[in-house]
Structure 1
Amino acid sequence: MTTDFKKLMTARFFFTLAVQMQAIVLGWRMYELTKDALYLGLIGLVEAVPALSLALFAGYIVDRSRPLVVYRRLTLVSLASGLLMLLSQLPYFHVTIDHQVVLLFCSSFLTGCARAFSQPSMFSLVPKIIPRVLLPKSSAWMSSAMQTARMSGPALGGVFYGFLGVSGTAVIICTFLIITITSLYLFDFNPPANEPEKDKSIKEELLSGAKFVFKHPILFPALTLDMVSVLFGGVTALLPIYAAEVLFVGPEGLGILRAAPAIGSFLMSAWLIRGEIKKNAGRKLFSAVAGFGVCILVFAVSRNYILSLLALVCAGAFDGVSMVVRTSAVQLSSPDHMRGRIAAVNSIFIGSSNEIGEFESGVAAKLLGTVPSAIFGGVMCLASVGIISIFSKKLRNLDLEELEKA
């Protein structure tokens, strides 16, 4: 891998580390202030609104700009989000509880704005700094770096929160974001912008990524599978409730629970760096998503902390397979001049499954109860595997080696 790719991995690692720590702080602090599961869902929704509504615009901007410059600027927005969270919690300012809640929502909103541009700029930048033949391996390397951050970020966030409080943890988060920005300014090569497409209106260019994905026989079902399974099967928003009222492990235990899926995904990504998934990638994808659903069901009914951790670790490992296969398929199927817009559509699917999934979890927990809502999510995940596998023969027969040569 090139030196610039290693710098990008470093930046991605510290950016993800900071975001994951911030998610722990926002979730636990919000629950401390409100004691309401609905607010845990709302904080995910507030992040999802800008992330989804700006996604197509972000893809258009990335395809018409230098992706490295865009990535640098979005990290500055994320830093502003961390600073806002810090200022809202400093005792010196005597911020009321109601105003703290509002400012935490504002911090989450800024994070969503940054995330709208994150994936398009990343997907556009990677193929410009490494050869095409290394794209599947780069997906495994990048996934490994991200999952390391997702593994350590929540655990560190929970531990720092327990010992240093909100303000001390926020200072550390801002420090990691400053390291991210520094890494991005040490690049040796700043890839140029793509040439604008001729005879196309802005509206046509904005929608071209969506049209490409929706017509693609592999990308559309693959992204739909991921969206539906995580939308219903994800339990991230419920973890503060499980930590506080089901498993009784406090913020430190919450951090480890939040890190558990990333531990599994990291271990899987590390293995995939040496043993790539290329042959029968489609069948392995469906098997992995089914395994994810089963693990969520085990977590939903568990009252044992160790069993719950193991279920989340295994869920993360299965999700790691899905992530590498999906990312490789998107990278290999995307024309170079459309990578930003296609990645933007990909981020819409992911954002729908993650942030809106958190909102769905919060609402379902409010209506059904915490445990029944998690069981419902696991069942829906398994149902999505069965339905999409029946209707998408192309995805079932996906072979990344053949896609690589196309």
Structure 2
Amino acid sequence: MPSAGETPHDPYGALRVPAFRWFIISLMAMTVGVQIQGIAVAWQLYAATNDPLALGLAGLAEVLPFLALSLPAGQWADRHDRKRLALIGIGVLVLCATLFLAMTTGLHARVSGTVRGVGSTAWSSPLVIYAVLAVSGVARAILQPARQALGTMIVPSTLYANAATWRSSTWQFASVVGPAVGGLMFAFSGPLITYAATLALLLLAFWGMSVVQVPPRVIGPAHSTDGAGILEGVRFVLRDKLVLAALSLDMFAVLFGGATALLPVFTSTVLHVSPEWLGYLRAAPAVGAVCMALVIAHQPPMKNAGRTLLFAVATWGLSIIGFALSRNVWLSCALLAMGGAVDSVSVVIRSTLLQARTPPHVMGRVMAVNSIFIGSANEIGAFESGLTARLLGAVNSVLLGGVATLMVVASMATFSPTLRRLKRLHGPDTGE
């Protein structure tokens, strides 16, 4: 029961805001569409090259432009209309989906016929696919800080945690549905229908974002567009010890504790199960995350957020250690689901903390730093897992990653008392 004078907790508070509902519809449609497109591109690339390295290069082609442009894009999000930038980002993704569809329908053959020296097959070659993926990486770099900063403008600060919960659960749900739908659609309907569905979903995402009503905002003090202004988000994170500790904890947990990149190895050589179990293992963390996000949404705001965050990341490390030692596929799925559940707790706390402590005029640049922290940790973590697996074996790689995660938690609990003492995520108890 809420105490006297305290507003009762509304688990659907953020969803009662019309602008946030459209924001969520846009996020869901875009995430599912991009996931479906990723499945189709991966299948076609591997079919064309029969080389697993081609799949790695596809990820690299998209992530390098994203990392290179994230900081400037954060500056743009603070200097310009965030909704317009988000629409530009989604619009470029629509263009990329249109190009993939054109390659599939044979439109590329008619276009290439008008370009001297360019054969029809050149338009759907791996190099062209990599180029389109690089453009989509640019689109993601523009979209992500603008959309994340926009999310703080359309709900009151008291609903930040609830909004972060629904954003997280939407993204996780889309991450489960997208690959499943994409795989089935590609298998039964082929690339044409798959890319057409991607295009339709991205158009829905564009429309959903276009109808989001954004309140006017005051642009912060003018800054130059050189490195000094662009790096303001980095300086803010380095100055705010609480934000730095929360971001670092999450980054190192992802860096050391990720087992996703090695799931194919565990499926075939550790658990000795059929290939379809790979899909179940990949889906397990997202299923756990969605379930936990729904639980969080129905709970009142956290009163000991710092300790909860440390406990969540420690539990993540323990789940990874358990997964490394497990030889039962059902237990492995359960441990991955548990890891996804506590990761959802971490995401909600980190997102809410960032929104509550960041001044509006640098929100875009701070969100860009957050994207780099998490994006680079995912990519480098996959490389680290593969390298240590090559040297020490897959089981030892994941086991050591879980142990390293626990060591990071112990270090943060010892050397960051501000994080350990963090109570509420908004209001007077946000850490000072």
Q: TM-score, normalised by structure 1?
A: 0.88
Report if the CA contact (8 A) 1:63-1:193 is conserved.
Answer: no
Task: From the superposition, tell whether residues 193 and 133 of structure 1 become closer, same or farther in structure 2 (CA, over 3 Å).
Answer: closer
Counterpart amino acid of residue 35 in structure 2: Q
The alpha-carbon deviation at position 220 of structure 1 amounts to: 0.6
Task: From the superposition, tell whether residues 299 and 29 of structure 1 become closer, same or farther in structure 2 (CA, over 3 Å).
Answer: farther
Residue number in structure 1 paired with 2:205? 180
Report if the CA contact (8 A) 2:75-2:225 is conserved.
Answer: no
Residue number in structure 2 paired with 1:8? 23
Report if the CA contact (8 A) 1:219-1:329 is conserved.
Answer: yes
Q: Give the one of 254, 257, 260 matched to 1:233.
A: 257
Matched, 1:126 2:151: yes
Matched, 1:136 2:154: no
If you compute each CA radius of gyration, which structure gives the higher value, 1 or 2?
2
Give the secondary-structure state (helix, strand or coil) at the position aligned to 2:211. Answer: coil
Q: Distance in 1 between matches of 2:221 and 2:249?
A: 31
Counterpart amino acid of residue 396 in structure 1: R
The farther-off stretch of 38-47 and 12-21 is 38-47
The alpha-carbon deviation at position 390 of structure 1 amounts to: 2.0
Task: From the superposition, tell whether residues 391 and 35 of structure 1 become closer, same or farther in structure 2 (CA, over 3 Å).
Answer: farther
The alpha-carbon deviation at position 33 of structure 1 amounts to: 5.8
Give the secondary-structure state (helix, strand or coil) at the position aligned to 2:282. Answer: helix
Task: From the superposition, tell whether residues 282 and 226 of structure 1 become closer, same or farther in structure 2 (CA, over 3 Å).
Answer: same
Report if the CA contact (8 A) 2:422-2:429 is conserved.
Answer: no
Task: From the superposition, tell whether residues 267 and 19 of structure 1 become closer, same or farther in structure 2 (CA, over 3 Å).
Answer: same
Q: Distance in 2 between matches of 1:245 and 1:166?
A: 31
The alpha-carbon deviation at position 327 of structure 1 amounts to: 0.3
Report if the CA contact (8 A) 1:58-1:117 is conserved.
Answer: yes
Q: Which structure has the highest helix share of the two?
A: 1
* CA offset digits 1:92-124 (Å, max 9, x no partner): 979879974434433442332222233311222
Q: How many residues align?
A: 404
Counterpart amino acid of residue 322 in structure 1: S
Task: From the superposition, tell whether residues 89 and 355 of structure 1 become closer, same or farther in structure 2 (CA, over 3 Å).
Answer: farther
The alpha-carbon deviation at position 165 of structure 1 amounts to: 4.2
The alpha-carbon deviation at position 399 of structure 1 amounts to: 1.6
Q: Distance in 1 between matches of 2:40 and 2:392?
A: 26
Q: Distance in 2 between matches of 1:170 and 1:244?
A: 31
Residue number in structure 2 paired with 1:63? 78
Give the secondary-structure state (helix, strand or coil) at the position aligned to 1:275. Answer: coil
Report if the CA contact (8 A) 1:62-1:120 is conserved.
Answer: yes
Residue number in structure 1 paired with 2:246? 222
Q: How does 1:339-354 map to 2 (within 5 A)?
A: 339-354=363-378
* CA offset digits 1:13-53 (Å, max 9, x no partner): 11122223334444565566666665554443333212211
Q: Distance in 1 between matches of 2:190 and 2:343?
A: 32
Residue number in structure 2 paired with 1:315? 339
Q: Distance in 1 between matches of 2:373 and 2:75?
A: 17
Task: From the superposition, tell whether residues 242 and 47 of structure 1 become closer, same or farther in structure 2 (CA, over 3 Å).
Answer: farther
Higher relative contact order (CA 8 A, sep 6+): 1
Counterpart amino acid of residue 159 in structure 1: L
Q: Distance in 2 between matches of 1:154 and 1:10?
A: 18
Matched, 1:267 2:282: no
Residue number in structure 1 paired with 2:3? none
Q: Distance in 2 between matches of 1:359 and 1:96?
A: 32
The farther-off stretch of 303-312 and 276-285 is 303-312
Q: Distance in 1 between matches of 2:373 and 2:322?
A: 26
Q: Give the one of 4, 18, 22 matched to 2:33.
A: 18
Task: From the superposition, tell whether residues 173 and 311 of structure 1 become closer, same or farther in structure 2 (CA, over 3 Å).
Answer: farther
Residue number in structure 1 paired with 2:138? 113
Residue number in structure 1 paired with 2:11? none
Residue number in structure 2 paired with 1:335? 359
Matched, 1:150 2:175: yes
The alpha-carbon deviation at position 276 of structure 1 amounts to: 3.9
Q: Give the one of 103, 106, 127 matched to 1:102.
A: 127
Unpaired segments ≥5 residues, structure 1:
none
Report if the CA contact (8 A) 2:37-2:198 is conserved.
Answer: yes
Counterpart amino acid of residue 79 in structure 1: V
Residue number in structure 1 paired with 2:229? 205
Report if the CA contact (8 A) 2:182-2:194 is conserved.
Answer: yes
Q: Distance in 1 between matches of 2:51 and 2:327?
A: 21
Counterpart amino acid of residue 120 in structure 1: P
Task: From the superposition, tell whether residues 70 and 242 of structure 1 become closer, same or farther in structure 2 (CA, over 3 Å).
Answer: farther
Residue number in structure 2 paired with 1:394? 418
Q: TM-score, normalised by structure 2?
A: 0.83
The alpha-carbon deviation at position 71 of structure 1 amounts to: 1.0
Report if the CA contact (8 A) 1:260-1:313 is conserved.
Answer: yes
Matched, 1:79 2:94: yes
Report if the CA contact (8 A) 2:153-2:214 is conserved.
Answer: no
Report if the CA contact (8 A) 2:173-2:286 is conserved.
Answer: yes
Task: From the superposition, tell whether residues 336 and 148 of structure 1 become closer, same or farther in structure 2 (CA, over 3 Å).
Answer: same
Q: Distance in 2 between matches of 1:255 and 1:389?
A: 35
Report if the CA contact (8 A) 1:158-1:256 is conserved.
Answer: no
Q: Give the one of 55, 59, 65 matched to 1:44.
A: 59
Q: How does 1:238-387 map to 2 (within 5 A)?
A: 238-242=262-266, 248-250=273-275, 253-387=277-411
The alpha-carbon deviation at position 341 of structure 1 amounts to: 0.7
Task: From the superposition, tell whether residues 20 and 248 of structure 1 become closer, same or farther in structure 2 (CA, over 3 Å).
Answer: farther
Task: From the superposition, tell whether residues 44 and 181 of structure 1 become closer, same or farther in structure 2 (CA, over 3 Å).
Answer: same
Task: From the superposition, tell whether residues 264 and 393 of structure 1 become closer, same or farther in structure 2 (CA, over 3 Å).
Answer: same
Task: From the superposition, tell whether residues 227 and 168 of structure 1 become closer, same or farther in structure 2 (CA, over 3 Å).
Answer: same
Q: Distance in 1 between matches of 2:263 and 2:37?
A: 15
* CA offset digits 1:37-82 (Å, max 9, x no partner): 6555444333321221111101110111111111111112223333
